[in-house]
């Protein structure tokens, strides 16, 4: 923190105005870390080519240096000096950018190995959020930005979530209100031209849509770990990630929760408002993410609800799974990680 303000002045919320955007850009150019809204979740941004700034990013987040960062920019041209775009990568950029798609491509020597955790590939994304784009326009810097949550915890979908998690350790937050999508971007690895493209993290751009755009088979799931990848295909693929502190257990849509220990309450998160006559076990309170089971609406509100339930002192959170296709794949992926079950 280099501002002249005293500790209790932080974090400072920068307004969603040209003045707020200009201030965020100025701070980023000076090597500071600023929390910025994107259409998926809030990111903790720093100048990607400034190693000192990137180091403070890792430190604030408590993120191990083996976990590489996504670099954000405006479009393919913005990244020309940083990465090699194959025809497949160009097609994805033309079709899905700006938007919630992160591509893994081969990097150039301009990208510090600190950003990519020693890999020869880099994750790139051109976000669609107008404020994030305005900041990129104003600072003209590639921005490394992991989700703005302490490592392993739920991603933030509101400026307030960033403040609750970090207090003054993240001094500046550009307040863009609630994120429109609420789940992290889809990550697709197109760096290996001899292998089919592979979705490393399902997200708002579905596997079905990507297969249609690319007109080929798209694999899903982490790559086999190899010594070259430091033993990890993508550390965000760790079994326990995006987790609340309260124990969370998944239920099929036909399953009912048990009862919490005597004297304690539990929460049951449904995708859709239950029918009035559906029975609920004793001391279990029911919440729903959408009136009618709309998965986009469920995704938008998931992390906010889980954060609120996490602070409410429940003994347990039961959560209903989504159907295993489309956006349901991304929702279930995050729910399994929140439950600490990874890809199992
Ligand atoms: O929606 C999003 O993608 C948000 C917003 C802020 O853009 N960002 C985000 O970043 O979710 P983060 O750091 O929380 O997750 C990025 C994931 C991590 O799991 C990381 O391991 C993986 O991307 N990743 C980054 N570079 C990679 C690479 N070269 N190869 C494989 N995985 C990579
Ligand atoms: Mg994250």
Residues around ion ligand 2, judged by CB within 5 A, are: 147
**Which residue intervals of the chain are DSSP H helices?**
18-29, 51-61, 87-96, 130-139, 159-166, 207-214, 295-310, 327-338
As a dihedral over the C-alpha atoms of residue 20, residue 183, residue 337, residue 113, rounded to 10 degrees, the angle is -60
| Gap between the Cα atoms of 157 and 141, Å rounded | 24
- Superfamily name with CATH number, domain 7-220: DHBP synthase (3.90.870.10)
DSSP 169: G
Ligand 1 near 235 CB (within 6 A): yes
The Å distance, Cα 276 to ligand 2 centre, comes to 37
- Nearby residues of 42 by Cβ (< 8 Å), 6 or more positions away: 35, 36, 147, 148, 155, 156, 157, 158, 159, 161, 162, 173, 176, 179
Ligand 1 pocket check for 200: Cβ under 6 Å: yes
Q: Pick the closest to residue 145 from 43, 220, 60 (CA basis).
A: 43
Q: Which ligand is nearest to the CA of 235?
A: 1
pLDDT in tens, 265-283: 999 999 999 998 888 989 9
| 3-state helix, strand and coil shares in percent for the chain, rounded to the nearest 5 | 30, 20, 50
CA distances from 103 to 44, 93, 168 (A): 19, 9, 32
Q: Whose CA is nearest to atom 32 of ligand 1?
A: 234
Q: How do residues 75-129 score in pLDDT, each as one tens digit?
A: 999 999 999 999 999 999 999 999 999 999 999 999 999 999 999 999 999 999 9
Domain boundaries along the sequence of the chain: 7-220, 248-338
Same fold, 7-220 and 248-338: no
Q: Which segment of 8-12, 34-38, 61-65, 132-136 scores lowest on mean pLDDT?
A: 8-12
In the prediction, which pLDDT does 228 show? Answer: 46
Domain made up of 248-338: CATH architecture: 3-Layer(aba) Sandwich (3.40)
Tell me the pLDDT band of 233, cut-offs 50, 70 and 90.
Answer: low
Helix, strand or coil, per DSSP, at residue 194: coil
Determine whether the shortest distance from the Cβ of 43 to ligand 1 is under 6 A.
yes
SS3 89: helix
Q: Does the pLDDT of residue 187 top 90, yes or no?
A: yes
Crossing angle of helices 295-310 and 159-166, rounded to 10°: 30
Q: What is the pLDDT of residue 253?
A: 85
Indicate which atom in ligand 1 lies nearest the CA of residue 116: 29
Q: Do residues 70 and 87 touch, judged by C-beta distance below 8 A?
A: no
| Unique residue bearing structure tokens 């694999």 | 219
Ligand 1 pocket test target in 68, 151, 199 with most atoms within 8 Å of CB: 68
Interval between CA 160 and ligand 1 midpoint (Å): 22
Q: Which of 44, 46, 70, 343 to mutate to test the pocket of ligand 1 (most atoms within 8 A of CB)?
A: 70
Please answer whether residues 151 and 65 qualify as being in contact, where contact means their C-beta atoms are separated by less than 8 angstroms. no
Structure tokens at 114: 């600190």
């Amino acid at each position: 923190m280099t501002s002249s303000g005293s500790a209790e002045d932080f974090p400072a919320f920068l307004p969603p105005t040209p003045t707020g955007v200009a201030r965020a850009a100025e701070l980023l150019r000076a090597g500071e870390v600023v929390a910025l809204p994107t259409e998926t979740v809030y990111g903790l941004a720093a100048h990607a080519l400034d190693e000192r700034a990137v180091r403070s990013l890792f430190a604030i987040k408590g993120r191990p240096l083996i976990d590489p960062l996504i670099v954000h920019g405006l479009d393919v041209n913005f990244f020309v000096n940083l990465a090699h775009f194959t025809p497949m990568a160009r097609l994805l950029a033309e079709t899905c950018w700006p938007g919630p798609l992160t591509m893994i491509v081969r990097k150039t020597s301009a990208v510090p190995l600190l950003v990519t955790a020693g890999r020869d590939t880099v994750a790139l994304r051109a976000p669609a959020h107008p404020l994030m784009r305005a900041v990129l326009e104003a600072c003209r810097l590639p921005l490394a930005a992991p989700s703005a949550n302490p490592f392993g915890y739920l991603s933030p979908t509101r400026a307030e979530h960033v403040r609750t998690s970090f207090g003054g350790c993240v001094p500046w937050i550009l307040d863009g209100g609630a994120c429109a999508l609420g789940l992290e971007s889809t990550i697709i690895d197109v760096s290996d031209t001899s292998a089919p493209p592979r979705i490393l993290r399902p997200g708002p751009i579905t596997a079905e849509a990507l297969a249609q755009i690319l007109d080929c088979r798209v694999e899903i799931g982490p790559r086999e770990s190899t010594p070259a990848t430091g033993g990890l295909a993508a550390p965000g693929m760790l079994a326990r990630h995006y987790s609340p502190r309260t124990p969370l257990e998944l239920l099929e849509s036909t399953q009912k929760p048990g009862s919490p220990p005597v004297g304690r309450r539990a929460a049951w998160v449904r995708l859709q408002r239950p029918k009035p006559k559906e029975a609920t076990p004793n001391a279990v309170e029911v919440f729903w993410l959408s009136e009618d089971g709309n998965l986009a609406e469920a995704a938008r509100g998931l992390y906010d609800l889980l954060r609120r339930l996490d602070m409410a002192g429940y003994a347990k959170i039961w959560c209903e799974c989504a159907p295993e296709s489309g956006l349901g794949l991304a929702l279930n992926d995050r729910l399994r990680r929140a439950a600490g079950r990874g890809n199992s």
